Structures are given as C-alpha cells and as structure tokens.
Amino acid sequence: MDRIKIFSPATVANISCGFDALGLALEGIGDEMVFTKRNDNQLIITKIEGANLPYDIDDNLVGTVIKAMLQKLDLQIGLDIEIYKGFKPGSGLGSSAASAAGTAFAINELLGKPFTKTELVQFAMLGEEAACGSPIADNVSAALFGGFVLIRSLNPVEVISLPVPDDLFITALHPQIEIKTEDARNVLPQEIPLKDAITQWSNVGGLVSGLYTNDYKLIGRSLQDVIVEPYRKKLIPHFDSVKRAALNTGALGAGISGAGPTIFAISKGESHAKQVELTIDNIYSKTDIEYYTFVSSINKEGVKIIK
Ligand code: HSE
C-alpha cells in the first residue's frame, strides 16, 4: 500500500461524569487525512485545510506520532501528508485527537499493521501530549475504537469498549470561541472533596450500567458532573441556560464536551435530539456569539479508510 486516505471522527470526551476516563465518537464530523509514500525518507506536510496549523513536521503533532511509530520499529520512510480539518482546534470535540488517532491508524495500515489498537492509543497519546501538554487518552481512544469507551487505566493503557444503545443521539452546540485544553485543565482543582468523588464514581458506574442494559433513564440520571463542570462552565457563555433548555426539552443529559466550549446533550431518538437542537439554537441566536449546531448518532466504527 503506497497511499491511504482516512476519516477520523470528532469525539466527546468525559461524557459529564467520566473526566479523562470516558469518551464517545461522533458520526459525520471529523478530519480527513491522506498519507502518500515518497521515494525518500522525508516527512512533508503538503496541505492543511480547515485550520491554521503548523506545516513544519517538527511542530505538528502528526510528526510526533509518526516519528514515535517509526522509531519503535527502527524504520525510516518518507511521506507526503495532507490534512483536511473538519472542525476547529479548541472546540472540545477532540480536534488534536482526531489528527493523532487518524495518523496512528493510517501509518499502521501503511506499514502492514504491526501495532495493536491499544498501542495505537499510546502513540496517539503522544500527539495529545504534544498538542496540549497532557497525554490524555479519552478522545484518541474514542476516535480509534469508535462507540463509547472507558479508559480503565493509563499505565498500562487499558481501553474498554462499551455497548452503544441504538437510539442515542448527540446534539452539539459549538460556540466559535477557542478554549485551549491546557487552560481548561488549569482551572481545575488538584484535590476534591470525598463526597464529590463518591457522587462522580457512582455516576460513572450508573452510566456504564445504563449502556449495558439500554436503560435510557439511568443513562440520563448518571450524566452529572460535580467535579469539573462547576469550574469549566464559567468559560462557556450561557452554559447554564443551554443545559437547562436541553433538559427541559427532553434531553437525557447535557454537559461540556471535553474541555469545551462545545456543549453536548444526549437524547433518546433523533427527533428529540433535533428538538433539543432547535431549543439551544434559539438561545444562542439571541447572542452575538457565532456558533453552529448539529445532531449526530454515535459512530461505532472509529477511524476508517475512505476513498
Ligand atoms: N478529558 C480531557 C479534558 C479531554 O477534559 O481535559 C480534552 O479534550
């Protein structure tokens, strides 16, 4: 194989209760990337569309991921790399993760699949670390595995795929402001009260149980975040109104997607998700903040080869 084109999905990390431990992949929104082998050993980013990102391979997380993979195999190859961003960095939808996971997946395919999916998560995490200073696994795991994922452990990396109930739909509102993941992590406390930790891990258990039993109401009750959301929501204009409106319109739950500013809601059924979209669109249309909204099903496949 000399050339590969892939689609790498946007993702929602944390899913309210599972900071750094839960993620899900979205359908229809993501990046496309093309990797073409060269006759020499140079790694060259030839095109970037959709975002203002560095072309220098040493400054782009794509280079970090490729070099780590080649070093592990003690191999040198040359590649032309095209990056078509389907959504912006700093959106809370796992932009750096989509590039990192897409790169790890594509290089693995080009090299004849020497690595396992879990190893690809580890390489992609290096890309996350290059982009935001922390080797976070939730977005890259959701992008690579698809569906819902639980990161049970980072050392060693252990990713568990969770079931995806058929009728879950995500509504997302992306205000066009950029929040850097690093900044959104810096507002968080280093220590938390035990009672909050209890609430949080009980909700993670509830959410996981709800996914296994198709218990939509339990999923909704478990979508609570008493640890991270109180700090981060201050960075997102009108967060409380949007969340309240989504819940009043029948969403099972709503919260901050990853590090924000995207706000997500989960609903049972596409028509409910679309009603939620109308409601939150109505709130943001009265502000002077640019934004867009979309409804997505859960992407069960993760990164994939496209034509
Ligand atoms: N779990 C990470 C965070 C995701 O919320 O900081 C970053 O995209």
Q: What is the mean pLDDT of residues 279-302?
A: 97
Residue 193 has pLDDT above 90, yes or no: yes
How many CB atoms neighbour CB 31 within 10 A?
A: 27
* Residue 298: DSSP 8-state: B
By 3-state DSSP, what share of the chain in percent is helix, strand and coil, each rounded to 5? 40, 25, 35
Q: What is the mean pLDDT of residues 241-251?
A: 98
Instruction: Give me ligand 1 centre to Cα 74, in Å.
Output: 32
Could you tell me the residue ranges of all domains in the chain? 3-162+300-305, 168-297
For domain 3-162+300-305, is the CATH number 3.20.20.70?
A: no
- pLDDT band at 28, cuts 50/70/90? confident
CA distance linking residue 272 with residue 284, whole number of Å:
19
219-240: per-residue pLDDT in tens?
999 999 999 999 999 999 999 9
CB of 142 closer than 6 A to ligand 1? no
Q: Left, alpha or beta for 226 (phi > 0: left; psi -120 to 50: alpha)?
A: alpha
Return the axis-axis angle of helices 117-132 and 61-73, rounded to nearest 10°: 140
* Residue 234: DSSP 8-state: G
- The residues that are catalytic are 128, 181
Q: What is the mean pLDDT of residues 132-149?
A: 96
CB of 138 closer than 6 A to ligand 1? yes
- What atom in ligand 1 is closest to the CA of residue 184? 6
* Residue 233: DSSP 8-state: G
Of 2, 45, 17, 11, give the one whose Cα is nearest residue 199: 17
Residue nearest to atom 4 of ligand 1 (CA): 258
Of 51, 88, 256, give the one whose Cα is nearest residue 177: 88
Candidates 3.40.190.10, 3.30.565.10, 3.10.290.10, 3.30.70.890; CATH matching 168-297 = 3.30.70.890
Q: What is the mean pLDDT of residues 180-197?
A: 96
94-108: per-residue pLDDT in tens?
999 999 999 999 999
- pLDDT band at 12, cuts 50/70/90? very high
48-71: per-residue pLDDT in tens?
999 999 999 999 999 999 999 999
Q: What is the mean pLDDT of residues 40-55?
A: 97
Q: What is the mean pLDDT of residues 77-91?
A: 95
**Probe target for ligand 1 pocket from 26, 95, 136, 200, with the most ligand atoms within 8 Å of CB:** 136
CB of 181 closer than 6 A to ligand 1? yes
Residue 122 pLDDT: 98
